Copies of this chain bind each other. A is one copy, B any other.
């Protein structure tokens, strides 16, 4: 029996399928050949029904034996210590992976997600647009000079950054060929395709069980 358990919702609407963040942990496990199970908390009532395990009512969270870890970024950093395929074990490689993982969460996603949120709320040309452009331009410069963010090889930093950048509205925001090629390369990886396909299948199967 697997010790790794990835928790997600028992159902989500069609829109977010393929983008729910359990995909980040599935993808990491697929890259590293780590066995895992998927378990569910109810989507209905998610604001309050699992706060003792995820204090913001979100998914995913991860079990690893006695450990329980919420926040997809924390789950990735935890999984990365279990397999060299996700992060090199030497101090320099580890530091590079760590800094680019945090950059994805706190320098890029801190702008992309609120910008996206305002945009889909109808505020297309919102006050975060200029800031988003600056951050993506900085990243474009980096990605035009290298294949991987950290340590000259695939790491969880690439997994996370690609997952942040592949959101369709972000991907369509201005022409940034190096970033686009990077997203295409990362999402062409078999482990990504397996994780995404499995997530979509999982939520499609859940349609059949859902009342109404």
Contacts and interface: CB of A to CB of B under 8 A. Distances in A.
Contact of A139 (B55, B69, B127, B141): B55
Interface string A96-108: 0011011101110
A126 interface: yes
A113 B115 CA distance: 12
A156 to B, nearest CB: 12
A66 to B, nearest CB: 7
A99 B53 CA distance: 12
Interface string A134-159: 01001101100000000000000000
Contacts of A19: none
A88 interface: no
Contacts of A135: 56
A193 to B, nearest CB: 25
Contact of A74 (B66, B92, B99, B138): B99
Contact of A127 (B77, B109, B113, B126): B126
Interface hub of A109, A138, A139 (most chain B Cβ within 10 A): A138
B69 A98 contact: yes
A146 to B, nearest CB: 11
A67 interface: yes
Given A103-B70, A131-B117, A78 B98 contact: yes
A169 interface: no
A20 to B, nearest CB: 16
A110 interface: yes
Contact of A138 (B57, B101, B123, B128): B57
Contact of A111 (B103, B114, B139, B141): B114
Given A71-B107, A105-B110, 6 more contacts: A51-B141, A55-B141, A57-B138, A68-B95, A74-B102, A105-B106
